[in-house]
Amino acid sequence: MEGFAKECAVVTHYRLKNDPDGGIMVDPEAKLEEELIIRPTSETIIWNTYKGWIQSYRDLPLLINQWANVVRWERRTRLFLRTAEFLWQEGHTAHATFDEAEAEAKQMMEVYRSFAEDFMAVPVLSGLKSEGEKFAGAHHTYCIEALVQDGRAIQAGTSHHLGQNFAKAFDVQFQTSEGTLDYVYATSWGVSTRLIGTLIMAHSDDKGLVLPPRMAPIQVVIVPMGRDDETRAKTYAASDALAAELKKAGWDDVKMRTHVDKREKESPGFKFNDWELKGACLRIELGPRDLESGSVIISRRDLGEKVTVALADVVSHCKAQLTEMQSALFQAALARRTEMTRRVDTWDEFQKAFEGEGGAGFIVAHWDGTQETEDAISEATKATIRVIPLAPLHPDDETPGTCVYSGKPSERRVVFAKAY
RNA sequence: CGGGAUGUGGCUCAGCUUGGUAGAGCGCUGCGUUCGGGACGCAGAGGUCGGAGGUUCAAAUCCUCUCAUCCCGACCA
């Protein structure tokens, strides 16, 4: 686990005590004889276990998935994107053949891609990590890479084909159907609460969160209005009835997630802003005037405009708008990414693109494939190779050219960016 | 670990250069009026100015030390 050694927190003492000068301190009497290393990832425990579980090809393939908190000693943390402790999902598989492990690794990359794009409405590039960026213990690493609104890239998920590296390190051999012994092939893959940060940074605006309907805890919020108890009783009843109707009608094969905001200490204006801050997808205003006219006012979070909808049409309107919003957010994010993706052919232009603080979007450029060039480029510009796309972004990207840094022959373009 | 900055009511900060009664906005409490885009008026409550020491008639302000937090740099999902 060489690549993680510097990220491991080490427990050296087993208790604290009251500091005579106030507060608490580490009890120097409580030094551990043997220090505990907090694992930054579970490969060690998994492979120690797999060693005992795998003897024969009949034991394969094997898959363990878990949700776990992990700890890494981060020099500098960043909310959601890089925290010292985070929750993630990790899977570990063992296979009899390279090809089977390869299929697994690719399949999980695809699972992550479709979750990001179809649920989070965040377009991602999927492909291979360069040697310099891949997981230290991997044969090769697949990833999904998102670009957020400030032009920086976020690695949103990874899927590693570990080859036989861990099997050899932990001596996990199995008997093949032919009776010979071989090391197993392995994969591991994961996504974390970093996805939440990605989601926020991909869609939100100056008014607060913007959430795609499939991810939103509240899809429709109803704000009943009325300045006296009698009026409120009526608008509350109408709102509850409408909420029940929406919930029952459902959207995307599940109950529509609705809420009626009956807080009486807040003004309607405050509530409008409050729900925009929290990212409710649709807001329905229901006051005495609406009761009279038999209609309501509906506003969609990403558009902001108010439309009048007849009470009888509210259910169909909401269903249609949630569907449209889900797709509109993806399209808007995709358009931003396209806008922020450029092809660059000279070192001068490349450097200029990454000048200063902040992101510069995706820069698609030729690279000679060497580690030295990759290091030199990141040293000079802080930009790194984010992904070598599986499918070229543009057909010409796979046409050979010359490296933007070294001028040496390059087989294809790769994607550079400043990353979180 | 190296460099930079900041600690003042619950929150965000001004005041410090040039020592002289500790301030603003937001929030909070009470009353009244409001309620379809973050309400308004009036009246209030709330701070040993991060801590210790020093200079001075007098320190938030000057000096020394100390603690804490944040930001920027060397195999990061």
Residue A210 inside a domain? The answer is no
**Do A160 and A236 belong to one domain?**
no
- Domain containing residue A405: CATH number: 3.30.110.30
**Do A195 and A262 belong to one domain?**
no
**Do A23 and A49 belong to one domain?**
no
Q: According to the model, what pLDDT value does residue A123 have?
A: 98
Nucleotide nearest to A288 (CA to C1'): B36
**Do A351 and A281 belong to one domain?**
no
**Do A162 and A99 belong to one domain?**
yes
Nucleotide nearest to A267 (CA to C1'): B35
- Domain containing residue A155: CATH number: 3.30.930.10
**Do A192 and A241 belong to one domain?**
no
Residue A209 inside a domain? The answer is no
Residue A215 inside a domain? The answer is no
Burial of A1 (0-12, 13-18, 19+ CB in 10 A): middle
How many Å from the CA of A23 to C1' of B18?
Answer: 40
How many Å from the CA of A382 to C1' of B17?
Answer: 39
Residue A208 inside a domain? The answer is no
Residue A169 inside a domain? The answer is yes
Residue A336 inside a domain? The answer is no
**Do A23 and A54 belong to one domain?**
no
**Do A310 and A402 belong to one domain?**
no
**Do A366 and A294 belong to one domain?**
no
**Do A165 and A76 belong to one domain?**
yes
How many Å from the CA of A285 to C1' of B71?
Answer: 44
**Do A122 and A55 belong to one domain?**
yes
Q: Which of A154, A174, A203 is the last residue of a domain?
A: A203
Nucleotide nearest to A158 (CA to C1'): B77
Q: Which of A273, A296, A324 is the last residue of a domain?
A: A324
ipTM above 0.85, yes or no: no
- Domain containing residue A263: CATH number: 3.40.50.800
Whether A267 CB is under 7 Å from strand B: yes
Whether A136 CB is under 7 Å from strand B: yes
Whether A31 CB is under 7 Å from strand B: no
Q: According to the model, what pLDDT value does residue A24 have?
A: 66
| Nucleotides on strand B lying under 7 Å from protein C-beta | 1, 34-39, 71-77
Q: What does the pLDDT profile of chain A (420 residues) look like in tens digits?
A: 456 666 777 788 888 776 665 566 777 788 888 887 777 678 888 999 999 999 999 999 999 999 988 888 777 788 888 888 889 999 999 999 999 999 999 999 999 999 999 999 999 999 999 998 998 889 999 999 999 999 999 999 999 999 999 999 999 999 999 999 999 999 999 999 999 999 999 999 989 999 999 999 999 999 999 989 999 999 999 999 999 999 999 999 999 999 999 998 899 999 999 999 999 999 999 999 999 999 999 999 999 999 999 999 999 999 999 999 999 999 999 999 999 999 999 999 999 999 877 789 999 999 999 999 999 999 889 999 999 999 999 999 999 999 999 999 999 999 999 998
Which residues 323-362 of A interface with strand B at a CB distance below 7 A? Answer: none
For A47, the domain range is 43-203
**Do A125 and A183 belong to one domain?**
yes
Whether A130 CB is under 7 Å from strand B: no
Residue A263 inside a domain? The answer is yes
Residue A410 inside a domain? The answer is yes
Give the number of domains in chain A: 4
pLDDT single digits (tens) A272-290 = 999 999 999 999 999 999 9
